[in-house]
Structure 1
Amino acid sequence: MNQKHLLACHERILPYIHRTPVLTSRWINERAGTEVFFKCENFQRGGAYKARGATNAVLQLTDTQKKNGVVTHSSGNFAQALSIAAKNVGAKAFIVMPLTAPKVKKDAVKAYGGNIIECEPTLKAREAMAEKIVREKEATFIHPSNDEQVIMGQGTACMELLEERPGLSAILIPVGGGGLAAGTSLAAYFFGTHCEVWGAEPFSVDDAYRSFKSGKIESNASTETIADGLRTQLGDRSFPIMKKYMKGIIRVEEAEIVETMRFVWERMKIIIEPSSAVALAAVFREKDKFRNKHIGVIISGGNVDLNNLPF
């Protein structure tokens, strides 16, 4: 994956996605001790950046693959993204979702035309069900993060941010499966100017932090975090890119995630999901690292169950 591939990807998906706004806040800048520019993917189609990667992957399917449909497993945001992308090309989308996925996300998948197949809330169960559908329907499996076409699509959010704010010193993103982290790292390397990329994740699911330390993909013994989008682990396509191009990982506490989510709601008047709040919480936690710089934060999504707020 190189600069040419990323540019072609961006051009390919432009007719199908929103070019989301870049916002800033005086309140947040004062608290952070730096200027922060938010790439607001909570305003993206499906409410999250994942529409970018899903669209890029689906647009490159053959006619036969489109006819047989696509399948993925996802707790919510990629489920919605793939449902939208498949609908754009007239393909069926089979979405394996854990029984515990938020109702607001399941309702959205159905609204976008996705066919939900529920399973137990474990990675093993999700993968087994997806494989079963591939066999029975001859559908094409598209991984939510560990897929080169998905990774390049996710990187276009960073490309757009750097077009508007070319002098950024650093960009922070939440890290789950690594698709956004890998894509952002590539985009910052090819289109930024000495622009560092920092990942952020909860202490309770810090597999990316430990993976950077050990040099191999680590897993989590628990998935107990409010940031439900970050409960997955890195893949063999995303991790090598992150290891090569990312600066490091910052960990935050659960209370910091909730407080940051509320602070953004109160001061910026926008809704962000807990996974998105992790990146800004990392800026607040490590103020000295970013002081007096211009930094970007990718708000990864805004799909929040308003009947089940953490504050």
Structure 2
Amino acid sequence: MAVTGELHRLDGTVTVRRALERLENGAWRSEGAGCSWARAVAFGWHDVEILNGVPALRRNFLDGVAARLYPSHRAALVRFRQILARRNSVLQRGGADAAAQLGPWDEQFAAVGMELVDRRRRATAALQTEISRIYPCLAGECHKIELSYRCSVGEAAEPAALFAALERHRREELRRGQTIVGPHRDDVLVELDGADARVFGSRGQQRLLALALRLAELLPITEATGTSPVLLLDDALSELDPSVRDNVLREIEAAEQVFLTTPEPLPVAAGGRWAIHAGGLAAA
């Protein structure tokens, strides 16, 4: 990592328990342990699914940002998923004593759940500040971009609101055997000029919005961590109009380190260039 002057080798594996573990310099570490130094923002065109995909993809994106801004978010997310799984287990079993068994889980679910909601809202606000500037700069046109966190308990901020929602939906949850209200059902609405970009945005607009979302991460992460993340852009310039491509290149000049892949020669100076030919990598 040139940013810190330290060299790390990072590998990964997925265990049979589906828990991601990282191997840092030969030592196994649990998920998130290496994140204090491994700071990068990566973009690929599959990120357009953040805009037009299922709500879980937007929640995952937002949780990734929140975990970088607020160190305790990752642990709270793991704890929330554990509570959710146990609560769902009680709902699936049902029985006359199900309501009594749910009580303790409901309290924990509401407390940890609203912690997640609070940090997600703050992360959304941080992204909003940046993307409202970045997207018009990339597009070269005036546009109004709005990100809004859609919480299943509305604008409430207290655990009591989520606890009350669980009680209101108790009968329906027992019938379905699953938790139907909470942070795991929330969504993020991305609006372009007052319209839902997922529904009304063109493919080109969605692709550019996805790139703008990733670029919007840079400044909040830098301010929160004191370290500028490495920006990794995989074929970010393809299918863009020449003027938009130039706007993207101007925008990323502010990043401290950028790795950009492209099938065509870059029209700007770069610190280093490499070309891939027949599976080999060589200086260009």
Fold match by TM threshold 0.5: no
Structure with bigger gyration radius: 2
- TM-score relative to the length of structure 2: 0.28
